[in-house]
Structure 1
Amino acid sequence: MNTLRHRSTLLATAATATALALSLTACQGDTQTKSAPAATSSATGKAADSEHTSASGTTGSADPARSTESKGSTDPTDAGGSAGSTGEQANAATRVCTARDVTVTAATQDGPPYTHLVLTARNTSGHSCRLAGAPHIQLLKSHQQDVPAVAKSKPAAPVVLKAGDPAYALVKLSDGGVDEDNEAVSAFSVRLEGDSTVIAVTAPGNAGIAVDPAKALTGYWTFELRNGADDF
C-alpha cells in the first residue's frame, strides 16, 4: 500500500511539474510574440522622426536664405542717387570721379543752329564713383574763365555712376545765328570737380562749333537731361 501511494505521489508531482513547464513555455512565447511588434514600431518611429527632422531642418535653413535674398544688400548706387537721407549720405560718401575714371565726349543737341552741346561722361573705371558738381569748361584759349554753371540744373541727389554708367551736362554755346562775337572752336578743355587734370574734348562736326563766350553756360552733371531744369 505504501508503495502504491508513493508511486501515486510521484506521478502527481511529475504531472504538476509538466503542467507548470508547459505554462511557463506558453508565457514565454506570448511575451516574445508581444515584444516583437513593439520593437518594430519603435524602429519605424525613429525613422519617421529622423525623416521629419531632416525635412524640417532643410525647410528651416531655406527660409532664412529666401528672407535674406528678398531683403538683399541694397547697394546705394543702384538707386542712381535716389532721394532719401540714407541713400544720399551713402552716395555722398562714394569717392569723387577723376579724369582717370571717366571718358568725356561731346555731341550737338538737336539740329541747326547748334546752339547747345551735350557732354557725356561715362564711367570706364570698373568701379563706382561720384560725379560732383558741374563740369569746369574753358571753350576758348583767349577766354581763360570757366563757363558759368546754371544753378537750377543742379540735381537733388549726388550723381553716382556705376561702372559703365553715363552722366550728361548741357552746354550753351551761343544764341545762334551769325554773330561777329562767335568764334570757331574745334576742341576745348574740361575738368571735373575736385580734380585738376585737364581733359581735352574734341568738338563735334568737321567745322567745329561756334562759341560766344559771353553767352556760354553749362548745366550740372545729371543722369538724364531734364526739361525745364536744363532749358537755358
Structure 2
Amino acid sequence: MNASRRTALFSVAASAALALSLTACQSGEGAKAEGAAPVAKDTASAAVSAPASASAAGTSGNTGTGAGTAVGTAHKSDSGSAGAKKGTATPLCRAQDVKVSAERQDGPPYTHIILTARNTSGHRCEMAGFPRIQFLESHKQDVPSVAKSKPAAPTVLNPGDPAFALVKLSDGGVDEDNEVVTAFQLVLEGDSTVVAVDSSAGGGLAVDPAKTLTGYWTTELRNGADDF
C-alpha cells in the first residue's frame, strides 16, 4: 500500500475515533446533565421546604409546647385559683350540724320564744333564711317570716357558735284559739330533715296559729328588727 493511501486511511480512522470520542463525551455530559436536573430539583424542593418546616417549628414553639403555653397555663391556673377562692361558699348548716332548743322570751303570757341553733359540727356553716316551723298537726302551713328581721350579712357559724330566731306565738292573753304545744318541728333551709324541738317545760306553749310569726336566723337579737 502506498504512502498516500495509508495516510488517507489514517486520517479517516482518526476522524472516526475523534467523532466517537466527541459523541461519547457529549453522551456523558448529556447523561450527567439529565442526572443533575433531578438533583437540582430536589435541592430546590429542600430549599423551599426547609423554611416552611422552620416556620412550622417556630409556630409550634409559640403556641404548642413552648414558653407561650407555660405562661398561658400559669395565668389560667392563677385565675382559676382566684376564682375558686372568690367562689368558695360556706356550706349551709344541716340538721345534723346543729342542736336546736327553745326558750321563753318574756313573762306570762309568754307571747314569744327564742330559738337557738348551736353549731355542734367541726366546721363552719351558714344558717340561711329562717326556720320553717310547724307547731300543730292540724296546721301544716309554715309559720310566716318577718322580712325586716333578715340580716344584712349571712349568718355564718363557727363550731360552737349559736344562731337565734325570735318566734311569736300569740298576741297574749287567754284566747280560745290558743292551743298548748309541748313539742313542735322545723326544717332548715336547704335540708328536708325534720328537727324536733321539745317545748314541754312549764306546761308547754300557748300557740295561736293565726298569729304566729318567725324571724330570720341571726347571730344576735336586734332591737327594732326583731320586734314583732
| TM-score, normalising length: structure 2 | 0.61
1:222 has 2:218 as partner: yes
Aligned-residue RMSD, C-alpha: 1.6
Moved more, 106-115 or 210-219: 106-115
Q: Give yes or no for contact 1:172–1:216 (8 Å, CA) kept in 2.
A: yes
**Distance 1:101-1:170 versus aligned 2 partners, 3 A rule:** same
- What's the counterpart of residue 24 of structure 2? none
**Residues 90/226 of structure 1: CA separation in 2 closer, same or farther (3 Å cut):** farther
State the Cα distance separating 1:91 from its structure 2 match: 9.8
**Larger Rg computed on CA atoms:** 2
For residue 99 of structure 1, what is the aligned residue in structure 2? 95
Residue 186 (str. 1) matches residue 182 (str. 2): yes
Q: 1:124 touches 1:164 (CA, 8 Å); kept in 2?
A: yes
Query: What does residue 160 of structure 1 align with?
Result: 156
Gaps of 5+ in 2: 1-84
Please name the residue that 1:109 is paired with.
105
Alignment deviations for residues 15-40 of structure 1 (CA, whole Å, 9 cap, x no partner): xxxxxxxxxxxxxxxxxxxxxxxxxx
Superposed CA deviations along residues 80-110 of structure 1, whole A, max 9, x for unmatched, are xxxxxxxxx9698100000000000000002
The residue aligned with 1:119 is: 115
In structure 2, distance between residues paired with 1:122 and 1:204: 20
* Structure-1 residue corresponding to 2:145: 149
**4+ residue segments displaced more than 4 Å:** 89-92
Contact kept in structure 1, 2:181 and 2:200, CA below 8 Å: no
Tell me, in whole angstroms, the C-alpha distance in 2 between the residues paired with 1:187 and 1:91. 39
CA distance in 2 between partners of 1:140 and 1:204 (Å) = 14
- CA drift of 1:205 comes to 2.2
Q: Deviations over 1:176-223 (max 9, x none)?
A: 010000000000001000000000000152310000000000000000
Percent of pairs with identical residues: 71
User: Cα 1:91–1:180, aligned 2, differ >3 Å: closer, same or farther?
Assistant: farther
Q: Distance in 2 between matches of 1:92 and 1:175?
A: 43
Tell me what 1:140 maps to.
136
* Pairing 1:176–2:160 present: no
One-letter amino acid of the counterpart of residue 143, structure 1: H
**For 2:199 and 2:115, how far apart are their aligned partners in 1?**
10
Whole-angstrom CA distance in 2 between matches of 1:103 and 1:146: 20
Distance change (3 Å), C-alpha of 1:151 and 1:98: same
| 1:138-166 Cα shifts (integer Å, max 9, x gaps) | 01110001000000000000000000000
Structure 2 residue identity aligned to 1:156? A
In 1, distance between residues paired with 2:99 and 2:86? 24
Question: Which whole-Å CA distance do the structure 1 matches of 2:87 and 2:183 have between them?
Answer: 33
Query: Residues 90 and 183 (structure 1 numbering): CA distance in 2 closer, same or farther, change over 3 Å?
Result: farther
Gaps of 5+ in 1: 1-88
In 1, Cα distance between equivalents of 2:177 and 2:151: 32
Contact kept in structure 2, 1:107 and 1:118, CA below 8 Å: yes
1:199 corresponds in structure 2 to 195
